[in-house]
């Protein structure tokens, strides 16, 4: 007698059910994978894609322009300060996607330009005409139009570093500085440490170096490479999307969110040693009472052609309008006339305004005599007193007696004569 029925049949039925469930699971999983793959493909076709290059007002694929290098893009990256009125940091970058190379060239804020402004610094270009003014200024010293721009507020920088969980960096020296007017308080100790967003911002804003802005640029570049290394090591596409979201909040750019994600994905395949940083070559010097960075035109054009030029043909020295005033007078690399200054004055920072002219120093002595002469009191008061006591000479008596004639207009001219007569 079988109490539990046919167990073998029961197992067979159960096995069939399991097979059906497995097939259903595989079908659903395959459908999900195919759907995700299709969605990913659609995103990359219509959303996450390379940007198009604007060529003479027409948007064209970067690969359809025979004069350009394949998949080679250029950008101007500028960090704006709290008031968004000036560029605290200016960089021009190139991304050779096919060869997986990134080059970043820093432009010193004090770089002198061939412009009519009193303060001829490239930092004034943004204050004068926004991002378009900055791009025009960069074209004059680089010889080509930069493809895209990104203006990043410092808030984005703080959130990006925090999103990465902090970045390890070797702070080169103790950094202490306070400026309540900018709400800036820097307190960093020298040495290797993990910087969060706020501390990282203190690092890149510190500028009290013995070598001035050039050392500051070097520290900024080193920290940027540390951020890239950290991001590449993580290799996480979700982080790329998160960073793109942060940038979209605090960044003004002509790149779409899909363009930013596309560049982020491509950037993950770049080795850290293939991300190189440079500074436009030149020398520091004064001109008309202000300190400037005077570019070396020949070295600049060599750097541009080697690391930034998006075209197959080299840029010539004559394509650059670089001025240098180390000799005491402005000289342009083009050989053209250097622009004359105009009354228009662009003030970027309080310390960059010209020294006050000593126009008030000579006014110390003339002011008393000038202010006393117009007053009518000297014409009335001196006449009675000198006329009563000065008996020595009859000539003064003739002068004071016509007191009625002293009141008329002739008195302004002789206003200088009573003073000497009193002293005599």
Reduced to 3 states (helix: H, G, I; strand: E, B; else coil), residue 78 is strand
At 335, the pLDDT band (50, 70, 90 cuts) reads confident
The pLDDT of 122-128, averaged and rounded, is 87
With a CB cutoff of 8 Å and minimum separation 6, the contacts of 59 are 52, 53
**What is the residue extent of each domain of the chain?**
69-352
Rounded CA gap, 316 and 133, in Å?
A: 23
Q: Report the share of the chain in percent with pLDDT over 70.
A: 64
With a CB cutoff of 8 Å and minimum separation 6, the contacts of 226 are 167, 168, 169
Which CATH superfamily hosts domain 69-352?
Answer: LCP protein (3.40.630.190)
The per-residue pLDDT for range 285-300, each reduced to its tens digit, is 998 889 999 999 999 9
Q: Report the share of the chain in percent with pLDDT over 90.
A: 35
Q: What is the pLDDT of residue 347?
A: 36
- Kindly report whether the global pTM for this prediction surpasses the value 0.75: no
Q: What is the pLDDT of residue 359?
A: 38
The per-residue pLDDT for range 48-69, each reduced to its tens digit, is 788 888 665 445 555 556 689 9
The per-residue pLDDT for range 352-401, each reduced to its tens digit, is 333 333 333 333 333 333 333 344 434 444 444 444 444 444 444 444 44
Q: What is the pLDDT of residue 140?
A: 95
Count Cβ atoms within 10 A of the Cβ of residue 356 and give its class: 0-12 exposed, 13-18 middle, 19 or more buried: exposed
At 170, the pLDDT band (50, 70, 90 cuts) reads very high
Rounded CA gap, 120 and 289, in Å?
A: 12
Q: Give strand pairing partners of 287.
A: 290
Lowest mean pLDDT among 111-125, 320-334, 405-419: 405-419
């Amino acid at each position: 007698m079988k109490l539990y029925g046919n167990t073998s049949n029961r197992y067979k039925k159960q096995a069939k059910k399991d097979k059906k469930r497995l097939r259903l699971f595989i079908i659903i999983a395959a459908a999900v994978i195919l759907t995700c793959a299709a969605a990913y493909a659609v995103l990359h076709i219509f959303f996450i894609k390379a940007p198009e290059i604007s060529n003479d007002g027409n948007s064209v694929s970067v690969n359809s322009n025979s004069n350009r290098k394949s998949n080679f893009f250029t950008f101007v990256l500028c960090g704006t300060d709290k008031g968004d009125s000036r560029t605290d940091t200016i960089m021009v970058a190139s991304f050779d996607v096919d060869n997986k190379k990134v080059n970043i060239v820093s432009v010193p804020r004090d770089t002198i330009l061939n412009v009519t402004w009193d303060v001829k610094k490239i930092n004034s270009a943004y204050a004068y005409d926004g991002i378009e003014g900055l791009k025009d200024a960069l074209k004059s010293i680089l010889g080509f139009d930069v493809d895209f721009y990104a203006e990043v507020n410092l808030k984005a920088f703080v959130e990006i570093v925090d999103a990465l969980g902090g970045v390890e960096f070797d702070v080169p020296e103790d950094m202490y500085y306070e400026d309540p007017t900018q709400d800036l308080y820097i307190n960093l100790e020298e040495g290797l440490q993990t910087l969060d967003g706020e501390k990282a911002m203190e690092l890149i804003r510190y500028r009290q170096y013995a070598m001035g802005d050039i050392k500051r640029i070097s520290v900024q570049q080193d920290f940027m490479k540390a951020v890239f290394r950290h991001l590449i090591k993580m290799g996480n596409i979700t982080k790329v999307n998160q960073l793109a979201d942060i940038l979209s909040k605090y960044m003004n750019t002509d790149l779409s969110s899909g363009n930013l994600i596309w560049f982020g994905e491509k950037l993950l395949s770049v080795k850290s040693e293939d991300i190189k940083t440079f500074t436009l070559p030149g020398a520091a010097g004064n001109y008309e009472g202000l300190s400037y960075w005077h570019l070396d035109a020949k070295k600049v054009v060599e750097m541009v052609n080697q690391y930034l030029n998006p075209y197959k043909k080299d840029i010539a020295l004559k394509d650059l309008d670089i001025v240098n005033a180390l000799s005491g007078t402005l000289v342009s690399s083009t050989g053209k006339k250097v622009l004359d200054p105009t009354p228009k004055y662009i003030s970027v920072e309080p310390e960059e305004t010209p020294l006050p002219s000593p126009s008030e120093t000579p006014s110390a002595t003339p002011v008393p005599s000038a202010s006393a002469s117009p007053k009518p009191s000297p014409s009335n008061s001196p006449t009675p007193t000198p006329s009563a006591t000065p008996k020595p000479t009859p000539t003064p008596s003739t002068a004071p007696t016509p007191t009625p004639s002293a009141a008329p207009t002739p008195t302004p001219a002789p206003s200088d004569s009573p003073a000497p007569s009193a002293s005599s």
